[in-house]
């Protein structure tokens, strides 16, 4: 990337004041554009507009093999508070320590869901090129490999768990305000047995004095993803837009609403006035788009979708679920999706 001072970057911060450890805030629609918490270091602004999604060949600056790993799986999202004394230069040491921690926990009887007679090897690596600004720390990718204890010499270890810590276009004011010994990689994406995820989170919390919690994607985030992916259609055929709602009836009513890409694009094009100089999407446009879809559904079925909860958004470019699961199927829009998810994770931070 242009202007970056080193290949592997652990950004330095400026303010020495230690952060508070209040982990209670949730990523919900705020009552105003700013959130304040006791002991805050800065103010995080809730964006009311963002750049429209643009297709970018990120394999020009990110290792294609790493990109393939990111788009291969469905990921469970968590948010992580800043890591104390984390250093990108010590990844080999972290690999050894996490391997030893997993084996020690296994010997103490903790179930790891991959067989009792198994050895583990952990690898930490850096995904260079995903960081978008000088304040973003480089993404860290973690893999856990397993191998039967009495495997043949030629047997290749199997990847049983993957995860990555990332920060893409993180709020610059928040990142600059962190004490110098803290590194912010607020978004944690995991794939694999829940028992291993729990162990990795426990190790991160013990090693870096951080806190890991599941990240729920509320209706606002899902609405944004629906709009950003719809806006990609002229460049990349999204094939469909599928929205899943749950209505609070007794019993609850699940509704799956699938629309053709041309129909949703025409609706979006009637709402969004593209400015070639500064193509941004506003929250007002997002709300109008979703209202248009809900009104169309009501005209046909006399059901108010707005009375329910949007649970999932899907296109051929990816899918996202209210419970914090996401799949990115097209690498060209990874920066757009990760920017939105990084913002959501940072809004959970105890600032």
pLDDT for the residue numbered 106: 84
Better-scored residue on pLDDT, 37 or 196: 196
- Same domain as 208, residue 87: yes
Judge if 49 and 167 occupy the same domain. Answer: yes
Let me know if residue 22 belongs to a domain: no
Q: Is there a domain that residue 175 lies in? A: yes
**Which residue did the predictor score with more confidence, 155 or 311?**
311
Same structural domain for residues 127 and 265?
no
- pLDDT of 276 higher than 80: no
Q: Where are the beta strands (DSSP E) in 280-343?
A: 280-282, 309-315, 318-321, 325-328
Q: How many residues does the chain have?
A: 351
Contacts of 103 (CB under 8 A, 6+ apart): 119, 120
Of 23-37, 107-121, 177-191, the poorest mean pLDDT is in 23-37
Nearest to 289 by CA among 309, 253, 259: 259
Residues 148 and 238 in one domain: no
Q: Same structural domain for residues 45 and 185?
A: yes
Domain for residue 13, yes or no?
Answer: no
Pair 175, 38 in one domain: yes
Q: Check whether residue 189 and residue 115 sit in a common domain.
A: yes
200 shares its domain with 61: yes
Mean pLDDT of the chain: 86
Q: How far apart are CA 198 and CA 102, in angstroms?
A: 10
Tally of domains in the chain: 2
Kindly state whether residues 58 and 189 are assigned to the same domain: yes
pLDDT tens profile 136-189: 999 999 999 987 766 666 677 899 999 999 999 999 999 999 999 999 999 999
Quickly state the pLDDT bin for 85 (edges 50, 70, 90). very high
Residue 83: pLDDT over 70:
yes
Read off the tokens for 194.
């829940």
Structural domain contains residue 328: no
**What is the Cα–Cα distance from 59 to 66, expressed in whole angstroms?**
9
Q: How is residue 53 written in tokens?
A: 């999604």
Is it the case that residue 103 has pLDDT exceeding 60? Answer: yes
Give the pLDDT of residue 151: 62
Query: Are 158 and 193 in a shared domain?
Result: yes
Question: 288-297: per-residue pLDDT in tens?
Answer: 999 999 999 9
Q: Is residue 21 part of a domain?
A: no
330, part of any domain: no
pLDDT of residue 270: 94
In the predicted structure, residue 13 carries a pLDDT above the cut 50: no
Query: Considering the domain boundaries, does residue 4 fall inside one?
Result: no
Shared domain check, 143 and 204? yes
Domain encompassing residue 99: 34-216+335-346
342 contacts 167 by C-beta, under 8 angstroms: yes
Is the pLDDT score of 18 beyond 70? no
- pLDDT of residue 14 exceeding 80, the answer is no
Residue 152 Cα distances to 114, 120, 149, 330, angstroms: 18, 16, 9, 38
């Amino acid at each position: 990337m242009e202007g970056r001072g080193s290949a592997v970057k652990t950004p330095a911060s400026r303010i020495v004041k230690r952060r508070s450890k209040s982990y209670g805030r949730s990523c919900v629609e705020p009552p105003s554009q700013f959130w304040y918490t006791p002991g805050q270091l800065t103010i995080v602004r809730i964006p009311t507009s963002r750049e429209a999604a643009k297709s970018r060949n990120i394999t020009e600056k990110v290792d294609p093999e790493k990109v393939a790993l990111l788009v291969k799986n469905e990921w469970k999202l968590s948010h992580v508070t800043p890591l104390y004394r984390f250093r990108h230069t010590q990844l080999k040491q972290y690999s050894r320590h996490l391997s030893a921690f997993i084996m020690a926990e296994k010997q103490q009887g903790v179930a790891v869901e991959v067989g009792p007679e198994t050895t583990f090897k952990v690898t930490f690596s850096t995904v260079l090129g995903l960081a978008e600004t000088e304040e973003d720390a480089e993404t860290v990718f973690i893999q856990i490999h397993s191998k039967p204890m009495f495997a043949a010499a030629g047997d290749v270890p199997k990847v049983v768990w993957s995860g990555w810590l990332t920060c893409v276009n993180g709020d610059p004011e928040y990142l600059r305000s962190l004490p110098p010994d803290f590194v912010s990689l607020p978004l944690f994406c995991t794939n694999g047995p829940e028992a291993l995820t729990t162990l990795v989170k426990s190790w991160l919390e013990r090693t870096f004095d951080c806190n890991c919690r599941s990240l729920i994607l509320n209706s606002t985030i899902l609405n944004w993803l629906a709009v950003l992916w719809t806006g990609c259609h002229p460049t990349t055929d999204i094939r469909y837009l599928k929205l899943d709602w749950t209505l609070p009836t007794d019993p609850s009513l699940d509704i799956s609403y699938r629309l053709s890409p041309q129909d949703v694009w025409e609706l979006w094009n009637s709402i969004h006035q593209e400015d070639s100089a500064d193509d941004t999407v506003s929250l007002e446009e997002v709300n109008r788009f979703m209202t248009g879809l809900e009104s169309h559904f009501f005209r046909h079925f006399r059901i108010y979708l707005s009375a329910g909860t949007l649970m999932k958004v899907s296109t051929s470019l990816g899918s996202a679920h209210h419970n914090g699961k996401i799949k990115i199927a097209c690498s060209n829009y990874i920066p757009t999706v990760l920017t939105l998810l990084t913002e959501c994770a940072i809004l959970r931070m105890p600032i």
